[in-house]
Amino acid sequence: MRTKVLLVALFAAVCCTQMAAQPFAKETFPEGSYSPVTNVNRNGYPRVLKDGSVMFRVNAPEAQKVQIDLCGTKYDMTRDERGTWRVTTRPQVPGFHYYFLLIDGVSVADPASQSFYGCSRWSSAIEIKEDGCADFEVQDVPRGEVRTVYYYSKVDEAYRPLMIYTPAGYNESTQQYPVVYIQHGGGEDHRGWMEQGRTAQIMDNLIAAGKAVPMIVVSANSNVQARSGGFGGGYSWQGMQNFRNELIDNVIPFIEKNYRVKADRKYRAMCGLSMGGGQSFYIGLRSPQVFANVGVFSTGMFGGIQGASNFDLEKEVPGMLSDVQGFNKNLDVFFITCGEQDPRISHTRNIVKKMQDAGIQVRFAAYPGDHEWQPWRKSLHQFAQYLFK
């Protein structure tokens, strides 16, 4: 009975917030503010101000306490006599940020926002504009397609989804294309790169400008568990085995059977962010017969996260330091990135310096931002321009 009462109360509180997705009559917004593209109602809230701070407004007359949880900071909202709650946050860095409503202590998605799968749940999000990032937007250029297809996984013993970007002209042409296998981070899935990461917009604009060759991009769900048991999860070579088997034995054969691709290591790349960066490091670098191009974005395995310390390059990738010439010969592109405000940045810089001092041919870039999508979009944007040339 107690559980039932709690559920009814939560349902009532959340329903009250649904008015937040509706337009507010005769609303006057601050000059220079804008409605982010992540809003459901482009004339409503949240509202981004000129300095990057965000105005939130929520109708929840039955709630006792309402907060906004944005980028790990909780902001207390103030209630007026009509039951409307308001708050303005401090200025936010540009990019894509998950956020939540906290209604009487319960975290829920904001119905005023579109929902995205992140943080291991469906989440609200807000997009803060950044100057100079037109390549992340839809432009008047030939556009490719993103499709969701299903393949059979012998690891999971079930059909599993892939999201696949094919460049403009793919359907009409007979040519073969190189392929990038791109991996999401922890708490996300195959939708992350295509939705939050804006892969199609980035690739369309780069290809149209002649900055990248036409290529296919495949995003798999790496949250896979082997029905037969075995290793799965964790920043270690053993922990990567389930997904390594999934990718090499199931995903790549499916793509090469069903799409016009160049089935050669020189025309395959693997990259990923955070957890996906770790997968790309281990699987990509330890599978030179499969991949000649590897991108590692914001991984925590070098340090900056709990449990990561004293990373031994030679132990984790045999031959990396003891046979530098052979290691370099196996790779056309090796690229590492991290956000400048990411706790992983100093550890990443240190490991890159160790690689470069040893003679490893690795490119490195850092971008403004924390552990978030804007640096990852920039990472893909730069990585794609290096590939298959």
310-337: pLDDT as tens digits: 899 999 999 999 999 999 999 999 999 9
Domain 2-129 has CATH 2.60.40.10: yes
37-53 burial, b if ≥16 CB within 10 A, otherwise e? ebbbeeebbbbbbeeee
Indicate if the pLDDT at residue 283 is higher than 60. yes
pLDDT in tens, 254-264: 999 999 999 99
Q: Do 205 and 134 form a contact (C-beta atoms < 8 A)?
A: yes
Residue ranges, comma separated, of all CATH 2.60.40.10 domains in the chain are 2-129
| Structure tokens given for 218 | 């495949």
pLDDT reading at 80 higher than 90: yes
Average pLDDT, the chain: 91
Residue 224 has pLDDT above 50, yes or no: yes
Report the chain's C-alpha Rg in angstroms: 23
Query: Which one has a higher pLDDT value, 127 or 19?
Result: 127
Q: What is the pLDDT of residue 2?
A: 41
Q: What is the pLDDT of residue 236?
A: 79
Read off the pLDDT of each residue in 187-211 and give the average, rounded to a whole number: 97
Give the pLDDT band of residue 4 (cuts 50, 70, 90). very low
Residue 119 has pLDDT above 50, yes or no: yes
CATH architecture of 135-386: 3-Layer(aba) Sandwich (3.40)
Query: pLDDT digits over 289-309, tens only?
Result: 999 999 999 999 998 787 667
Instruction: Report the percentage of the chain scoring pLDDT > 70.
Output: 90
Nearest partner of 106 among 140, 67, 142, judged by Cα: 67
pLDDT at 15 over 90: no
CATH 3.40.50.1820 placement within the chain: 135-386
DSSP 251: I
> Does 53 score more than 90 pLDDT?
yes
Contact 335/360 with Cβ under 8 angstroms? no
